[in-house]
């Protein structure tokens, strides 16, 4: 899939709603390949990096101006998060 053809139709608020309803992971238009936000089993938002093998794959997500101001899309699989499909 051409990275430029990927659409990011959700605002931060809409993306957060997707997470809270556990309807999928979310990926920001400025996130690196393989990086998503998702809910863990206790309901906390986690930053997950599928491609970085040098640290734990999930850490607590941080809310920053950059995170808030991006557009988002729903992601369901690791290859999709890596922008390979």
Where exactly are the structural domains of the chain?
A: 8-76
Per-residue pLDDT tens digits for 16-62: 999 999 999 999 999 999 999 999 888 888 888 888 765 557 777 88
Mean pLDDT for the stretch of residues 70-74: 97
The whole-number pLDDT of residue 56 equals 55
The whole-number pLDDT of residue 8 equals 97
DSSP 3-state of 81: helix
pLDDT beyond 60 at 66:
yes
Residues in the chain: 85
CA nearest to 10, candidates 83, 81, 74, 59: 74
The whole-number pLDDT of residue 53 equals 63
């Amino acid at each position: 899939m051409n990275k430029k053809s990927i659409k990011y139709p959700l605002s931060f608020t809409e993306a957060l709603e997707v997470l809270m309803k556990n309807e999928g992971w979310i990926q920001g238009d400025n996130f690196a390949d393989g990086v998503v936000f998702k809910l863990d089993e206790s309901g906390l938002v986690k930053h997950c990096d599928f491609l970085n093998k040098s640290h734990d794959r999930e850490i607590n997500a941080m809310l920053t101006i950059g995170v808030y101001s991006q557009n988002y899309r729903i992601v369901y699989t690791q290859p999709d998060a890596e922008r390979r499909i």
